[in-house]
Structure 1
């Protein structure tokens, strides 16, 4: 799949993340899965890291300079926006989980490219 298709997927996924984050806390069903909140953040941003890296014209370690800060910034903005949503709050721990997810996802793409 070329980088332009990944860019479309990336935009759709980013809208999806922001849509989930804008749900009021009261409307989110209580589930045992939510007790794994940080793991969910990590997986969510792991996918974002994969999409970000694949949306670049060239995939190299140099692109980490763009991808990782963008992923961190997006996670911080997502958390900031959540602070305005009823029943939701912002958490530095969530940003940390988001950051780890973006890093792992983007490094996985680079590792897979080197093995090809």
Structure 2
């Protein structure tokens, strides 16, 4: 049952990413600007730079979560960390391809790299946690 739970969560998260990518460019910018408007008064940074950072951090976070969910879904499979990263990378590629067909959006390999960086960070966190657990069990 636990495997099914993570599979369902993974599919739902992939749908969420797809829906967010379906959002036209102007609407997507408005979503980011809500956060930017809050932070802009705290940090001495230009609005455009902050908007870029917020949007790219959102990308990284989305794909870090996806990598985690995929890993939990396939944890019982050999080399699950590597396979989770590869699957997340491939989904990022399809997401950027999808964005080529959305008004005001552009599919960019740079975004695939940013998405994959978020996934890689999550995979490294999981790897470190697993190594620490193994050390405790082996002690």
**TM superposition score category, shorter chain reference:** 0.7 to 0.9
Q: How many residues align?
A: 115
1:41–1:64: structure 2 CA closer, same or farther, 3 Å change rule? same
Aligned to 2:27: 27
Is 1:71 matched up with 2:88? yes
Aligned to 1:86: 103
Q: Aligned to 2:74, what secondary structure does the other structure show?
A: coil
Moved over 4 A (4+): none
- Specify every segment of 5 or more residues in structure 1 that has no aligned partner in the other structure, as ranges: none
Which structure's relative contact order is higher, taking Cα pairs within 8 Å and 6+ residues apart?
1
Normalising by structure 2, report the TM-score: 0.73
Counterpart of 1:38 (choices 56, 61, 64) is 56
Q: Aligned-pair RMSD on alpha carbons?
A: 2.0
Q: Is the contact between residue 53 and residue 59 of structure 1 (CA under 8 Å) also seen in structure 2?
A: no
Aligned to 1:109: 126
